[in-house]
Amino acid sequence: MRRPGRPRSREVDAAVLAAALDLLIERGASQTSIEQIAQRAGVTRATVYRRFPGTTALLIQAIESVHHDHGPGALDWPDIDRMLDNWAAYLSTPRNRRMLRRLYGAVDDYPELPRAYRNSHGGRRAAAEHAALRRSRERGQLPRESDPDTVQQLLNGAVLHHLGAYPDTESAEAVKAYFVAILRQAGYRTDVTSGRPPPSAQ
């Protein structure tokens, strides 16, 4: 039986998550505290702690709150092209790029944050990426001998390179073209639309 008390406020939840994400982007994980988050959100520390057990859990949920792929089929990309459309849209948003740089940059000083993110959201995305690569190989968009695990690692490295070497003002079209150019070096074909492999792969 639920204890009597004030109902959980969605507005307070949203304010706390937004404050946590803002501070993560502005200062980095190691410089973000519950006290700072509470102050930015305009609530007490006790209010934050009633909702989140600690900074890591709060920051993870704050990062999750900006993703819109929680539905059952949201990450079910039919092929590489659809997957790259999603990646390009996400990576052409400057705020997303800054957030990812802060997240990856926490590896040494705040390793539990990227680890927790990888085990939750990152794990689901990795499985969806692998499935899209396998489907594309079956369609003949990738060579039969290509290894989805290796191609996936190539793409993940390309994401990190793009975050550090390219401006945050890149358009979605330019971001997608970047990934397509890299994948072509792995034998990716954009002219294959049917489920049958091209003659060269038979």
Would you kindly state where each structural domain of the chain is located, as residue ranges?
A: 10-64, 80-201
Residue 14, pLDDT score: 92
Rounded Cα gap, residues 24 and 192, in angstroms: 42
Give me the percent of the chain exceeding a pLDDT of 90.
59
pTM above 0.85, yes or no: no
CA atoms within 13 A on the CB side of 138: 9
User: Terminus-to-terminus CA distance in the chain, angstroms?
Assistant: 64
Residue 118, pLDDT score: 76
Report the C-alpha dihedral over residues 137, 141, 144, 150, rounded to 10 degrees.
-70
pLDDT band at 119 (very low <50, low <70, confident <90, very high): confident
Q: Could you tell me which residue, 49 or 76, shows the higher pLDDT?
A: 49
CA 101 to chain centre: 11
Give one DSSP letter per residue of the chain, joined into a string.
-PPPSPPPPHHHHHHHHHHHHHHHHHH-GGG--HHHHHHHHTS-HHHHHHH-SSHHHHHHHHHHTT----STTTT--SSHHHHHHHHHHHHTSHHHHHHHHHHHHTTTT-THHHHHHIIIIIHHHHHHHHHHHHHHHHHTSS-TT--HHHHHHHHHHHHHHHHHHS-TT--HHHHHHHHHHHHHTTT--SS--SSSPPGGG-
Residue 138, pLDDT score: 95
Third-level CATH fold of 10-64: Arc Repressor Mutant, subunit A (1.10.10)
Class of 80-201 in CATH: mainly alpha
Residue 136, pLDDT score: 95
Are both 10-64 and 80-201 of the same fold? no
Residue 121, pLDDT score: 67
Rounded Cα gap, residues 86 and 202, in angstroms: 31
Residues 163/100, Cβ–Cβ less than 8 Å: yes
